[in-house]
Amino acid sequence: MMQVGAEGSYLSQSPTDLHFGLGEAEKADLIEIVWPDGSEAKHENVTTDQIVEYVGAVQPRLLRHRDESD
């Protein structure tokens, strides 16, 4: 389990990115998110080597796949 918070210091905020190392796995079987309001989101069979943005209970958005160059 990993937890994200927005704590920081004056005029700053801690990063909200989480990185999960899955070794040789090609997908995460399940990603469960519990939001501060108590609502929950479950995402199954999420492929690896990508950056995905989860914002509340809306559909996740693929930001970048690892194979893409910057």
- Which token pair is 18? 């989480």
Q: How many helices (H) and strands (E) does the chain have?
A: 0, 4
Residue 24 reports pLDDT greater than 80: yes
Nearest C-alpha neighbor of 41 from the set 31, 51, 50: 31
pLDDT-derived band at 49, boundaries 50, 70, 90? confident
Mean of all residue pLDDT scores within the chain = 79
Pairwise pLDDT comparison (33 vs 1), residue with the higher score? 33
User: From residue 53, how far is each of 24, 25, 49, 58, 63 by CA, in Å?
Assistant: 22, 20, 13, 10, 7
pLDDT-derived band at 25, boundaries 50, 70, 90? very high
Residue 69 reports pLDDT greater than 60: no
Instruction: Provide the residue ranges of all domains of the chain, joining segments of one domain with +.
Output: 1-70
Nearest C-alpha neighbor of 30 from the set 18, 52, 45: 45
